[in-house]
Amino acid sequence: MDSSRIDITQSSGNVFLDLGFEPAQAQIMKLRAEVMIHIEQQIKAKGWTQAQAAEQLGVTQPRVSRLVQGKVEDFSLDMLLTLASRAGLHAELKVSA
């Protein structure tokens, strides 16, 4: 094995697809991750502690902890959009072929 050789594979733009998830599932997971990132950024921008964020979002602090840890599998897209709205964010869905 030649340790000086590194093979690089170009990303598809969706890490979940690259990891082998079925395309439809990978797209939903990517959307969920993107919404989670925006919610986490909003929490930081507002300067909320996890406890304050939990109160604002109407969930428990451990739930906020899972959100900021990026536990994608713990949140449906519907729930994330609800949390985004409660955080003061406005989501739009654009569908294209």
Q: Domain extents for the chain?
A: 15-86
| pLDDT computed for residue 80 by the predictor | 97
| pLDDT computed for residue 41 by the predictor | 97
| pLDDT computed for residue 55 by the predictor | 98
Q: What CATH number does domain 15-86 carry, 1.10.260.40, 3.40.718.10, 1.10.10.10, 1.10.3720.10?
A: 1.10.260.40
- Angle between helices 23-46 and 77-86 in degrees, nearest 10: 20
Among 86, 79, 91, smallest CA distance to 48 is for 86
Q: What is the chain's pLDDT, residue by residue, as a tens digit (97 residues)? A: 556 788 887 888 888 889 889 999 999 999 999 999 999 999 999 999 999 999 999 999 999 999 999 998 899 999 999 999 999 999 998 888 8
Among 45, 46, 58, 49, smallest CA distance to 86 is for 58
